[in-house]
Structure 1
Amino acid sequence: MPSSLFHPLLPPDEVSADLTASREQTSSAQLQATRMDEALSETRQEAEKRERELCAYLAHLESKNSLVTSLLDIVQERANELQDEFDRYVPPT
């Protein structure tokens, strides 16, 4: 009995065609995986960039909030001083 690498029930041409089809499927799957990996990498980079932008914007808003809070404290303090001064000069009715 001769030794053969091909399946005994399939002719060599069909085995070769199946092998070629399998290689094409593998190649296609590898290409698809590469494309998906690239898309994932791009999405990750965009997400990281957006996260940095949002963090910078949040820091900017926190800085603005701190400034506005300080200004409000100054205005309230000044209003209280003016109210005290007003109360000294205007007798209660």
Structure 2
Amino acid sequence: MERHTHVRRDTTSNQCNTGAVKCCNSVANASDIASVLNMLSYSYDPADSVGIDCTPFNIYGAGEAASCQQQPVCCSNDTEKGFINFGCSPMNFN
């Protein structure tokens, strides 16, 4: 079975230098959803934040992503076409 891997991002900054800004249906700690990630054969850092069911976020406020109901996040690794995103941290647009 293929094992998925990801790159951990530095979550001490609100900059999105390593990935794309996403609007995720939910964000969880990897350790909290370990059984799901293991079942899907993902390798992960238990301290990582994982975005689930994510779409691209349009910072200009146009299109589908402008209606993000959750806080936008910056994720370093998008897998399964946005279903699972590793290394997510909240974005601040102030």
Structure with the larger strand share = 2
Shorter-chain TM range is under 0.3
Q: Which structure has the greater CA radius of gyration?
A: 1
TM-score (norm 2): 0.17
